Chains A and B, each alone.
Chain A
Amino acid sequence: AQTVTQSQPEMSVQEAETVTLSCTYDTSESDYYLFWYKQPPSRQMILVIRQEAYKQQNATENRFSVNFQKAAKSFSLKISDSQLGDAAMYFCAYRSARGAQKLVFGQGTRLTINP
């Protein structure tokens, strides 16, 4: 079974600074997808960024980028120029490219932005 581990329960960063959230996963599959989701205090989960395992190029979405290291099974999220609206729980998630279309989530990292 696949597992996702987020080793940082809480992180904080000064506004306008850069922060990196860590995520590691365990799988025996070679074809899969990885995601970062954001859950603000209002609780609605929002997709931040996604990465297909077969793509070597790291995904980027505006201020958000990932460092995908397939061999190390690592998938970190970098948030540049942090804004107050970035404050939320961030979840790393794994989904197999075959079989069950379910997300396996990490335990989450609570990100605080200090003004």
Chain B
Amino acid sequence: KAGVTQTPRYLIKTRGQQVTLSCSPISGHRSVSWYQQTPGQGLQFLFEYFSETQRNKGNFPGRFSGRQFSNSRSEMNVSTLELGDSALYLCASRTGTEAIGELFFGEGSRLTVL
């Protein structure tokens, strides 16, 4: 069974641009979560989607948004990029139906903002 796939793996943008990151969950998983990982702030929860609906949202500005499609694939978008948005963005999926369903992480998308 294929794991969580994130694309692109690496990308470089300049301030003010926008970026879209993609995540394909494990087949059968309906929940997709996004996390931002930086050396200073560590791992922080961005949002979770389940069956195309945002279930939870972390404490990030409105420039960070996401969506989930009917096939459970998810995208996150960051508009008006700032230097501080440079980070590893991790996507994780789970079935979404169990109380303690295990999260499976992708390898991440490394975003550098210049």
A: which residues have CB within 8 A of B? 33, 42-47, 50, 52, 91, 97, 100-108
Q: How many residues of B contact A (CB 8 A)?
A: 23
From residue 28 to 49 of chain B, which have CB atoms closer than 8 A to chain A?
Answer: 31, 33, 35, 42-45, 48
8 sampled A-B residue pairs with Cβ under 8 A? A42-B107, A46-B105, A50-B102, A100-B45, A100-B48, A103-B43, A103-B103, A108-B43
- Answer whether residue B100 sits at the interface, using C-beta atoms and an 8 A cutoff: yes
Q: Do residues B43 and A105 form an inter-chain contact, with CB atoms below 8 A?
A: yes
Q: Do residues B100 and A33 form an inter-chain contact, with CB atoms below 8 A?
A: yes
Contact with A44, one of B43, B55, B58, B107 (Cβ below 8 angstroms): B107
Q: Closest residue of chain B to A105, judged by CB?
A: B43
With A and B bound together, what is the CA distance between A45 and B33 in angstroms?
Answer: 13
Query: Binding site of B, secondary structure by majority: helix, strand, loop or mixed?
Result: strand
How near does chain A come to B107, taking the closest CB pair, in angstroms? 5
B: which residues have CB within 8 A of A? 3, 31, 33, 35, 42-45, 48, 55-56, 58, 88, 90, 92, 99-100, 102-103, 105-108
Q: Closest residue of chain A to B3, judged by CB?
A: A44
Residues of the A chain whose Cβ atoms lie less than 8 Å from the Cβ of B90: 45
Residues of the A chain whose Cβ atoms lie less than 8 Å from the Cβ of B56: 100-102
With A and B bound together, what is the CA distance between A18 and B28 in angstroms?
Answer: 38
Known contacts A44-B107, A50-B100, A52-B100, A102 near B45 by CB under 8 Å: yes
Q: Which of B35, B43, B103, B105 has the most CB of A within 10 A?
A: B43
Q: Do residues B99 and A44 form an inter-chain contact, with CB atoms below 8 A?
A: no
